[in-house]
C-alpha cells in the first residue's frame, strides 16, 4: 500500500510538471506561482531531525501563503521542492528553440570566477513568460545536461532563494541589470529567435558578453511580475567601489536597514554596522525562526537578505555581501514591499549589532560624478 501511495504521489507530481505550458516559478506543490521565497537552513548538528542535521532543511513562503512553512522534506529532493520544481522545467525540456535559459554563478559547478560579478541565479523565458531565480548558493545549479542535484558543498550554510514569474517584456529589463552585475554565465540556451528581439540580452548571452562602460556604475529598475507585483532590482558594477546597502539601497528606500550577509571574512574584511549615515545599516548577528524554534548565528549563514527596520515594509534578497573586497565586485539585490513577508523576515532577526563601530568608516565614492543619473 505504501508503495502504491508513493507511486501515485510521483505520478501526480509528474503530471503537474509536464502540464505546465510555460516557464514560470513553480510552488512547493508544483503549481504556477507569481513568486516564492526559500530559506535553506545551515547544518543544525544538534537537531534530531536527520534532514536538519544534514543541512538540507528549508522554510518556504509565497504570494498565497506569505508566512514561513517548515518543509518536511530536504532541499535536495524531487518532491515538494519548489527549487527542483522550477528548475526541472529546464532540465526536462527538449524544446530548445522555444525557450531560453541562463545559469550564472561566480562559483560555477566546476570553477570560480573573480573577474565577473558576485552574482548567482537562473533566468528562463519562453515566448510569453518566464522566471528569474535569484539565490546565494555556490556551485549551483548543475548544467542542464547533468540534471538536478544539490551540491555536497552547499550543506553547511544557510542560503536564500527568490523566484519571480515575469512576462516576456521584463526580460530586456533584467538584461539591463546584467550589464551592471556582469554575471558569470556557465550554461545557456539563447536561440536566434530570442536574440533578434532582445538586443540587450544578446549583449549578455551572445558571442561576447558585454558590461556597462560608463557612469553611473549602478542601475535601478522596477520589474513587474506576471500578477502585477512590483520588484525593485538594484545592481552595481565593480567600479561603483562601495557597499551596495550603505550606498544605494538604504538611501533609495529612505530607511534604516538590517542586513544579513556572509560575515566570515575576518575583522579587516567584514563591514561593521554603519551608524554614521542618515539611513543606518545594521548587521544581523543571529537568525531565529519562531516556527520550529530554529536558531543559528550569522557565521553559519551564506544568504544575502535585508529588511527595512520600521519603515516601508521592504524585504530584499540578493547575491552580494557587506565586505570590503566586494566594493569592487558587481552584484545586486531585489526588493519588494509585502507587509506579511516583511513581518516574516523581520521576525527572523534574533539580534542585530547596534554598536557605533561604523562611525567614520563610511566609504565614500571616488567622486561625485559617480552619482550621475537618477537612482
Find the radius of gyration of the CA atoms of the chain: 20
3-state SS, 264-290, equals: CCCCCCECCCECCCCCCEEEEEEEEEC
DSSP per-residue letters across 3-50:
HHHHHHHHHHHHHHHHT--S---B-TTS-B-SEEEEEE----TT-SSH
Query: How much is the average pLDDT of 299-318?
Result: 95
Residue among 67, 78, 40, 70 nearest 56 (CA): 40
Q: Which of helix, strand or coil describes residue 241?
A: coil
Least confident of 87-101, 111-125, 132-146, 241-255: 87-101
Average pLDDT, the chain: 89
Question: How much of the chain exceeds pLDDT 90, in percent?
Answer: 80
Q: What is the pLDDT of residue 355?
A: 56
Residue among 162, 341, 131 nearest 226 (CA): 131
Least confident of 42-46, 97-101, 318-322: 97-101
Give the C-alpha separation, 252 to 245, whole Å: 10
The answer on pLDDT for 339 being more than 50 is yes
Q: How many angstroms separate the most distant Cα atoms in the chain?
A: 70
Written as nine digits, the cell of 241 is: 567601489
Question: Locate cell 519562453: which residue?
Answer: 126
Give the C-alpha separation, 235 to 132, whole Å: 15
CA 127 from centre of chain:
24
Give the C-alpha separation, 340 to 14, whole Å: 32
Residue among 164, 221, 175, 225 nearest 198 (CA): 175
Angle at 298 between CA 297 and CA 303, to 5 degrees: 130
Residue among 288, 321, 284 nearest 302 (CA): 321
Interval 104-142: pLDDT, tens: 999 999 988 889 999 999 999 999 999 999 999 999 999
Domain locations in the chain? 21-216, 220-369
The answer on pLDDT for 69 being more than 50 is yes
Query: How much is the average pLDDT of 339-355?
Result: 86
Written as nine digits, the cell of 134 is: 535569484
Active site residue 352: no
CA 216 from centre of chain:
24
Q: Exactly one of 116, 229, 302, 352 is catalytic; which is it?
A: 302
- Asked whether the beta carbons of 275 and 288 are under 8 A apart, the reply is no
DSSP per-residue letters across 87-103:
HHHHHH---TTSEEEEE
282: which residues sit within 8 A by CB, 6+ positions away? 256, 257, 258, 259, 273, 309, 352, 353, 354
Residue among 221, 252, 279, 232 nearest 371 (CA): 252
Per DSSP, what are the bridge partners of residue 287? Answer: 296, 349
For 102, phi then psi, to 5°, come to -145, 125
Least confident of 27-36, 79-88, 124-133, 292-301: 292-301
335 exposure class (CB count in 10 Å sphere: 0-12, 13-18, 19+): buried
Amino acid at each position: 500500500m505504501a508503495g502504491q501511495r508513493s507511486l501515485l504521489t510521483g505520478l501526480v507530481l509528474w503530471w503537474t510538471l509536464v502540464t505546465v505550458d510555460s516557464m514560470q516559478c513553480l510552488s512547493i506543490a508544483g503549481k504556477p506561482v507569481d513568486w516564492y521565497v526559500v530559506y535553506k537552513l545551515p547544518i543544525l548538528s544538534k537537531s534530531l531531525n536527520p534532514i536538519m542535521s544534514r543541512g538540507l532543511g528549508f522554510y518556504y513562503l509565497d504570494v498565497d501563503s506569505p508566512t514561513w512553512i517548515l518543509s518536511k522534506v530536504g532541499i535536495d529532493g524531487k518532491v515538494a521542492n519548489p527549487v527542483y520544481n522550477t528548475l526541472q522545467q529546464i532540465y526536462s525540456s527538449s524544446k530548445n528553440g522555444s525557450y531560453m535559459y541562463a545559469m550564472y554563478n561566480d562559483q560555477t559547478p566546476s570553477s570560480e570566477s573573480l573577474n565577473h560579478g558576485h552574482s548567482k541565479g537562473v533566468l528562463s523565458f519562453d515566448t510569453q513568460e518566464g522566471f528569474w531565480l535569484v539565490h546565494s548558493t555556490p556551485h549551483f545549479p548543475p548544467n542542464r545536461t547533468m540534471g538536478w542535484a544539490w551540491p555536497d558543498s552547499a550543506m553547511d550554510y544557510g542560503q536564500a532563494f527568490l523566484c519571480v514569474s515575469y512576462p516576456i517584456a521584463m526580460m530586456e529589463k533584467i538584461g539591463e541589470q546584467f550589464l551592471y552585475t556582469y554575471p558569470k554565465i556557465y550554461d545557456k540556451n539563447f536561440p536566434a529567435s530570442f536574440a533578434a528581439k532582445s538586443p540587450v540580452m544578446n549583449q549578455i548571452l551572445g558571442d561576447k558578453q558585454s558590461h556597462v562602460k560608463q557612469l553611473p556604475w549602478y542601475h535601478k529598475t522596477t520589474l513587474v511580475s506576471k500578477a502585477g507585483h512590483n520588484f525593485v532590482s538594484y545592481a552595481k558594477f565593480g567600479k561603483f567601489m562601495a557597499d551596495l546597502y550603505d550606498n544605494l539601497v538604504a538611501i533609495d528606500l529612505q530607511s534604516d536597514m538590517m542586513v544579513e550577509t556572509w560575515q566570515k571574512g575576518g575583522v579587516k574584511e567584514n563591514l561593521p554596522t554603519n551608524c554614521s549615515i542618515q539611513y543606518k545599516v545594521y548587521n544581523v548577528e543571529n537568525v531565529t525562526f519562531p516556527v520550529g524554534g530554529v536558531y543559528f548565528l550569522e557565521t553559519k549563514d551564506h544568504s544575502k537578505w535585508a529588511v527595512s527596520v520600521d519603515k516601508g515594509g521592504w524585504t530584499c534578497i540578493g547575491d552580494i555581501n557587506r565586505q570590503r573586497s566586494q566594493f569592487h565586485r558587481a552584484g545586486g539585490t531585489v526588493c519588494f514591499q509585502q507587509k506579511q513577508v516583511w513581518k516574516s523576515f523581520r521576525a527572523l532577526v534574533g539580534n542585530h549589532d547596534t554598536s557605533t563601530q561604523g562611525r567614520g568608516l563610511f566609504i565614500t565614492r571616488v567622486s561625485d560624478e559617480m552619482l550621475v543619473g537618477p537612482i
